[in-house]
Amino acid sequence: MAKPVSIEVWNPNGKYRVVSTKPMPGTRWINLLIEQDCRVEICTQKKTILSVEDIIALIGDKCDGVIGQLTEDWGETLFAALSRAGGKAFSNMAVGYNNVDVNAANKYGIAVGNTPGVLTETTAELAASLSLAAARRIVEADEFMRAGLYDGWLPNLFVGNLLKGQTVGVIGAGRIGSAYARMMVEGFKMNLIYYDLYQATRLEKFVTAYGQFLKANGEQPVTWKRASSMDEVLREADVISLHPVLDKTTYHLINKERLATMKKEAILVNCSRGPVIDEVALVEHLKQNPMFRVGLDVFEDEPYMKPGLSEMKNAIVVPHIASASKWTREGMATLAALNVLGKIKGYPIWGNPNQVEPFLNENAQPPAASPSIVNSKALGKIKISNVGTVCLTISGYP
């Protein structure tokens, strides 16, 4: 039996009990729940990752909904406990939900929320930052200075790669991949090669228009190319950023064989999902190719790194901070809270979970809807369009 966990309580006499397994940025999410008569309990336990037993203790005998984190194992045990406590909703404070057994949630009739639509630019910015930091060896140079090793300018000191005129490769040209591509093309005048199952028409038009602008001003125009395979991107690009979903087809997408096809001085960036890269193979490749560089925000066995990765000077590693801008994290907290609140209050589901600006406007009340419920179809929920039209079907979305 887990020991009782420490909590902070807001609005102790609220009708509905909502638990957050972690303190989250900002206070708007708390205020929105309080305004709708919720008692909000926030776990303040000094523990990075709560165990299943810890969360069961938090849920207790009566709980209407839980806001959780992607580090937690939300499966049969937790959904059963939440159901016994009368719970109706769980929301990850994350766009991904690989930590959630959605089938188990369906079994107990519990809505599962996530927070898309608010991470696109923030995540793309970090991918661009890692690309630039790796290309110009910024982390290595910073460590060199702090160690007191700099004793004067040298012609060969921390020579890196010029991005201008090189080719950026994007694997997965969805919202984040396309935003990253635009940043690299416009910011550094890079050419683009991308691979996606679907044509990224808007991205292609953007690169074409920017190329025409450069040409009109006497500069070399940028170009784009849609690759016929992922391997074509790996062979041709100088900087490659990974933006696929994680499923059985993308597990270890980047392995020993594919690393070997990349340029010796290529840069590989991953802000998507850790298991997309075979980390053991990556460490070996970094050892054998000192001018090959990587920038990683996610890891195969997070929060751990495979042995040897932390020792690689040609690897930049950061602790899953792609969404860590104030605006984005506060927005994620708000969306997660509203997912839970919407289910408690019987609100319909928002029609487009990637267009969530109305929920984030601090100068207005948010729509009476749950921003994003991933299992709404399975639970047969009402859908509301962005302009307020309600559609009801027995089985789910029309």
Catalytic positions, please?
A: 273, 302, 320
Helices 175-188 + 201-216 axis angle, to 10 = 10
Burial class (CB in 10 A: 0-12, 13-18, 19+), 16: buried
Rounded to whole angstroms, the Cα distance separating 304 from 315 reads: 15
The region, left, alpha or beta by phi > 0 then psi within -120 to 50, assigned to residue 220 is beta
Q: In which order are the strands placed within the sheet that holds 224-226? A: 224-226, 191-195, 167-171, 239-242, 267-270, 293-296, 315-317
335-349 burial, b at 16+ Cβ within 10 Å, e below that, comes to bbbbbbbbbbbebbb
274 C-beta neighbours (distance < 10 Å), count:
19
Rounded to whole angstroms, the Cα distance separating 125 from 325 reads: 10
Encoded amino acid at 129, one letter: S
End-to-end CA distance of the chain: 45
Cβ atoms of 87 and 19 closer than 8 Å: no
For residue 238 the two structure tokens come to: 């100088």
Rounded to whole angstroms, the Cα distance separating 196 from 190 reads: 19
Smallest Cα–Cα separation from 387: which of 334, 351, 353?
Answer: 351
Q: Which residues pair with 242 in a beta bridge?
A: 171, 270
Q: What is the dihedral of CA 391, 118, 69, 346, to 10 degrees?
A: -20
Cβ atoms of 293 and 314 closer than 8 Å: yes
Q: Which residues pair with 268 in a beta bridge?
A: 240, 294
Rounded to whole angstroms, the Cα distance separating 189 from 207 reads: 10
211 C-beta neighbours (distance < 10 Å), count:
20
Longest CA span, the chain: 73
Smallest Cα–Cα separation from 111: which of 334, 323, 336, 330?
Answer: 336
